[in-house]
């Protein structure tokens, strides 16, 4: 029995010996050997002063020979063919990745980290916390980054291929360190909390008083060297860099002393807690925004992450769970990203950011593109500068009131496009509000019914929005009768319809149209707009009614019309026919066309002609502003039907040129 037990034990040990992997030997480099360095993606080589990889086939790179030298207890990677050492290029790309340069003017040590992740590739190479990685998608096929996940591009097999005489290489190192010394940079906040630490080299005797390029800028963060440091020989050169935040909100020390904000997306919707997740309310009232479910606070910092709290339950934080943004019991940290219109909250794990992916009023998901549905703005609770109004006509307007200091007594109704099928994004809506506010205008963004329940619904809703502004003129710093309209694409059609088919007080003071749909003539209209508004087989009478080039009258408001010659969505002929029709009736019109731009550029700063467009529009608006304020309207009881008045308010039989007033309204006459 004992023999059987012994036999079983021996068999078991043999079985273990045949199934357990052999422990890989730890790689220890020798100054006397030359090596090839290989990954499963590509082998390392050199080209044009850079470390490159055969993973980038277009470089024509071949496997190189390297020495890994030990000098003063550090390792250094040396190219035998180039007779140079490697260091990380401080210039990084948008991902924070950088190339690896060969040089003897700057030399940085490397670290060798061992693992058993891949049987034949057991070494990772690091430099100052950055990891050497190969990938065909990088510029040189190799880069240094902080991608900590173990993968086939950052695990190396280092194979000795021959002997090496290190004399010359060690002389280069000793000469370098005779005049260089190590600098330790510490990035901290004012309280001394450490965020980042890295080493680099400097020349003995130099004074360090500027932040190096190695500090990768964080959002809303400024940096300054706390105190200049004169470099001395040795390793005691510590340079303290103080980071301070310029965030769009105050960070809360705790929830008992929190700073609460309303959080809104640039699309015009406010961020609100709901039972099953989070939605955006596109038209919250002032009473809505004062509810706890609309209030948010922030902790953390741009280095460690931003923590977002809802006032409905401060024991949880805003988190990404699946593809929804909901409250979760764990502390969840977001990366904050700067944007010219606000900021983005980005998931650290997959780089996607909160986005109104499901459309206005839908649950929030995550997306990779930064648009109006993902750009946040904040305002203190109770200090919203925006008023949301739901009108009885079914429309709604978001009002951006002009400041008391800049108010010029005028307002403008902004009508986004969308082919009468949807309301287009912020570039044709709320993005314009700051521009008009700066000029002294109260701006109101119209949300009208789409698709129209009847062909007259959009026009009636636009009229009701303008009436609301006139009826509440004093509240919004507006003079009755000085409300204009701006429209884009199908919104331009609606603006032109209101301008040509209204009378008396309903008529806008001026009209501004960008790449507008003007006609319903099937030969050059936008078919989608026609189909949604009047139907693709509408009767000739209805087609004619909504072909605004055929509805122009002499008393239509002055116009500014802008389009791009290469617009392949709404033919430029729409704008041109309308311009000609206005001129034929003596209505002043300023036409501005650009050679390129296509359709839908709106208020996109990236548009090639954006600055020129804004300057031209500003000049035109300033010119009409001076005209609209240069004359006094006669009292209502003095105005007679068909009577005209000159610039001095005196009645004349017929106005020859300049400005005249008809039935209390001001018009141009050629």
474-520 pLDDT, tens per residue?
Answer: 888 898 889 999 999 999 999 999 999 998 889 999 999 999 999 99
- Return d(Cα 603, Cα 600) in angstroms, integer: 9
The domain boundary, picked from 356, 380, 404, lies at 380
On whether both 295 and 346 belong to a single domain, the answer is yes
pLDDT at 15: 38
Question: What single-letter DSSP state applies at residue 402?
Answer: P
Question: How many Cα neighbours within 13 Å face the side chain of 144?
Answer: 23
Residue 340 or 549, more confident: 549
- Return d(Cα 103, Cα 107) in angstroms, integer: 7
Q: Which of 200, 203, 199 is nearest to 179 (CA)?
A: 203
What mean pLDDT value characterizes the chain? 86
Q: Say if residues 527 and 536 touch (Cβ distance below 8 Å).
A: yes
Tell me whether residue 24 is in a domain. Answer: no
Q: Which of 112, 94, 91, 130 is nearest to 37 (CA)?
A: 112
Residue 383 or 501, more confident: 501
Confidence grade of residue 623 (pLDDT, cut at 50, 70, 90):
confident
Domains in the chain: how many in total? 5
pLDDT at 364: 75
- Return d(Cα 40, Cα 56) in angstroms, integer: 13
Question: What single-letter DSSP state applies at residue 393?
Answer: T
The domain boundary, picked from 165, 194, 226, lies at 165
pLDDT at 630: 44
| pLDDT of residue 650 exceeding 80 | no
Question: What single-letter DSSP state applies at residue 662?
Answer: E
Report the percentage of the chain scoring pLDDT > 90.
Answer: 56
CA distances from 107 to 110, 183, 330, 470 (A): 10, 12, 43, 71
Tell me whether residue 432 is in a domain. Answer: yes
On whether both 412 and 543 belong to a single domain, the answer is yes
Neighbouring-strand partners of residue 386: 400
| pLDDT of residue 10 exceeding 70 | no
Residue 518 sits in a domain of what CATH number? 3.40.50.1820
DSSP helix/strand/coil, 164:
coil
Task: At 243, list the tokens.
Answer: 């980071």
On whether both 264 and 373 belong to a single domain, the answer is yes
Tell me whether residue 20 is in a domain. Answer: no
User: E strands within 304-463?
Assistant: 305-310, 317-321, 324-328, 334-339, 342-347, 353-355, 365-367, 376-380, 386-390, 396-400, 409-415, 441-447
CA distances from 396 to 283, 387, 446, 568, 636 (A): 7, 11, 6, 31, 32
- Return d(Cα 417, Cα 492) in angstroms, integer: 7
On whether both 557 and 415 belong to a single domain, the answer is yes
pLDDT at 84: 96
* CB neighbourhood size of 652 (10 A): 12
- Return d(Cα 152, Cα 134) in angstroms, integer: 8
On whether both 409 and 522 belong to a single domain, the answer is yes
Tell me whether residue 6 is in a domain. Answer: no
**Quick one: angle between helices 457-471 and 490-500, nearest 10?**
70
Task: At 110, list the tokens.
Answer: 């490397």
CB neighbour class for 114 (10 Å; exposed up to 12, middle 13-18, buried from 19): middle
- Contacts (Cβ under 8 Å, ≥6 apart) of 145: 95, 96, 97, 98, 130, 131, 133
| pLDDT of residue 223 exceeding 90 | yes
User: Can you give the pTM of this predicted structure?
Assistant: 0.58
Report the percentage of the chain scoring pLDDT > 70.
Answer: 87
| Residue listed under structure tokens 């919104």 | 491
The domain boundary, picked from 207, 223, 245, lies at 245
On whether both 571 and 466 belong to a single domain, the answer is yes
Tell me whether residue 172 is in a domain. Answer: no
pLDDT at 32: 96
On whether both 372 and 390 belong to a single domain, the answer is no
CA dihedral over 11, 13, 16, 17, signed as positive or negative: negative
Average pLDDT over residues 320-344: 89
Tell me whether residue 453 is in a domain. Answer: yes
Confidence grade of residue 652 (pLDDT, cut at 50, 70, 90):
low
- Return d(Cα 469, Cα 230) in angstroms, integer: 65
CA dihedral over 523, 526, 528, 533, signed as positive or negative: negative
* CB neighbourhood size of 424 (10 A): 20
Residue 59 sits in a domain of what CATH number? 2.80.10.50
- Return d(Cα 29, Cα 44) in angstroms, integer: 17
CB neighbour class for 488 (10 Å; exposed up to 12, middle 13-18, buried from 19): buried
Identify the domain containing residue 223 by its residue range.
177-245
pLDDT at 90: 81
Confidence grade of residue 656 (pLDDT, cut at 50, 70, 90):
very low
pLDDT at 272: 81
Least-confidence region, from 79-93, 106-120, 190-204, 619-633: 619-633
Tell me whether residue 10 is in a domain. Answer: no
Question: What single-letter DSSP state applies at residue 210?
Answer: S
Tell me whether residue 339 is in a domain. Answer: yes
- 33 phi, psi to nearest 5 deg: -125, 150
On whether both 104 and 45 belong to a single domain, the answer is yes
| pLDDT of residue 607 exceeding 80 | yes
- Tens digit of pLDDT for each residue in 455-476? 999 999 999 999 999 999 988 8
pLDDT at 137: 84
Average pLDDT over residues 361-369: 74
- Return d(Cα 670, Cα 652) in angstroms, integer: 15
Q: Which of 342, 372, 437 is nearest to 399 (CA)?
A: 437
Residue 523 or 637, more confident: 523
- 617 phi, psi to nearest 5 deg: -65, -40
Average pLDDT over residues 160-181: 94
* Secondary element (H or E) of residue 559: strand 558-564
On whether both 295 and 425 belong to a single domain, the answer is no
Confidence grade of residue 7 (pLDDT, cut at 50, 70, 90):
very low
Average pLDDT over residues 108-132: 91
Confidence grade of residue 333 (pLDDT, cut at 50, 70, 90):
very high
On whether both 412 and 541 belong to a single domain, the answer is yes
Q: Say if residues 305 and 319 touch (Cβ distance below 8 Å).
A: no
On whether both 489 and 542 belong to a single domain, the answer is yes
- 628 phi, psi to nearest 5 deg: -65, -20
Least-confidence region, from 348-362, 400-414, 587-601, 628-642: 628-642
Confidence grade of residue 57 (pLDDT, cut at 50, 70, 90):
confident
| pLDDT of residue 628 exceeding 60 | no
Task: At 571, list the tokens.
Answer: 């033919």
DSSP helix/strand/coil, 377:
strand
pLDDT at 61: 79
pLDDT at 362: 61
DSSP helix/strand/coil, 113:
strand
């Amino acid at each position: 029995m004992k023999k059987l037990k012994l036999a079983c034990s021996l068999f078991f040990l043999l079985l273990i010996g045949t199934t357990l992997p052999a422990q890989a030997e730890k790689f220890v480099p020798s100054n006397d050997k030359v090596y090839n360095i290989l990954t499963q993606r590509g082998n390392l080589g050199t080209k044009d002063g850079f470390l490159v990889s055969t993973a980038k086939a277009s470089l024509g790179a071949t496997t190189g020979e390297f020495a890994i030298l030990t000098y003063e207890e550090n390792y250094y990677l040396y190219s035998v063919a180039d007779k140079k050492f490697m260091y990380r290029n401080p210039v990084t790309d948008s991902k924070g990745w950088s190339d690896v340069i060969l040089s003897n003017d700057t030399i940085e040590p490397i670290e060798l980290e061992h693992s058993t992740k891949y049987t034949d590739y057991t070494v990772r190479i690091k430099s100052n916390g950055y990891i050497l990685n190969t990938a065909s998608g990088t510029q040189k096929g190799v880069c240094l980054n902080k991608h900590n996940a173990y993968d086939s591009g950052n695990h190396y097999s280092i194979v000795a291929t021959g002997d090496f005489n290190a004399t010359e290489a060690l002389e280069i190192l000793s000469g370098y360190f005779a005049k260089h010394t190590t600098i330790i940079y510490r990035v901290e906040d004012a309280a001394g909390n450490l965020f980042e630490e890295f080493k680099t080299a400097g020349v003995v005797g130099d004074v360090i008083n500027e932040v190096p390029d190695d500090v990768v800028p964080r959002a809303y963060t400024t940096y300054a060297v706390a105190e200049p440091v004169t470099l001395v020989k040795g390793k005691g050169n510590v340079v303290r860099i103080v980071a301070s935040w310029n965030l769009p909100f105050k960070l809360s020390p705790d929830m008992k002393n929190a700073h609460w904000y309303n959080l809104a997306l640039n699309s015009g919707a406010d961020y609100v807690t709901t039972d099953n997740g989070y939605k955006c309310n596109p038209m919250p009232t002032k009473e809505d925004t004062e509810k706890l479910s609309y209030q948010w606070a922030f902790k953390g910092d741009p280095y460690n992450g931003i923590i977002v709290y809802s006032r409905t339950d401060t024991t949880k934080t805003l988190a990404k769970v699946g593809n929804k943004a909901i409250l979760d019991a764990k502390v969840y940290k977001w990366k904050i990203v700067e944007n010219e219109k606000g900021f983005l909250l980005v998931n650290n794990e997959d780089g996607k950011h909160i986005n109104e992916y499901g459309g206005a009023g839908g649950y929030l998901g995550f997306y990779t593109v930064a648009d109006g549905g993902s750009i946040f703005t904040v305002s203190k609770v109770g200090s919203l500068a925006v008023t949301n109004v739901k009108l009885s006509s079914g429309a709604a307007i978001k009002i951006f009131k002009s400041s008391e200091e800049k108010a010029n007594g005028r307002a403008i109704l902004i009508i986004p496009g969308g082919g009468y099928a949807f309301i287009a994004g912020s570039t044709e809506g709320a993005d314009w509000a700051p521009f008009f506010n700066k000029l002294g205008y109260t701006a109101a963004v119209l949300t009208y019914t789409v698709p129209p329940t009847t062909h007259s619904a959009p026009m009636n809703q636009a009229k009701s929005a303008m009436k609301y502004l006139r009826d509440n003129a004093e509240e919004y710093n507006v003079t009755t009768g000085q409300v204009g309209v701006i429209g884009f694409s199908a919104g331009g059609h609606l603006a032109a319809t209101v301008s040509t088919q209204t009378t008396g007080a309903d008529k806008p003071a001026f009209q501004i149209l960008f790449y507008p749909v003007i006609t319903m003539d099937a030969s050059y209209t936008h078919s989608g707009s026609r189909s949604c508004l009047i139907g693709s087989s509408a009767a000739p009478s209805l087609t004619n009614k909504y072909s605004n080039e055929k509805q122009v009258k002499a008393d239509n408001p002055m116009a500014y019309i802008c389009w791009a010659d290469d617009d392949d969505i709404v033919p430029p002929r729409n704008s041109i026919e309308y311009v000609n029709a206005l001129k034929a009736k003596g209505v002043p019109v300023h036409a501005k066309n650009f050679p390129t731009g296509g359709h839908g550029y709106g208020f996109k700063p990236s548009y090639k002609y954006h600055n020129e467009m804004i300057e031209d529009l500003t000049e035109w608006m300033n010119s009409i502003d001076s005209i609209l304020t240069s004359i006094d309207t006669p009292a209502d009881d003095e105005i007679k039907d068909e009577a005209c008045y000159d610039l001095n308010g005196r009645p004349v039989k017929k106005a020859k040129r300049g400005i005249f007033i008809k039935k209390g309204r001001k018009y141009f006459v050629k």
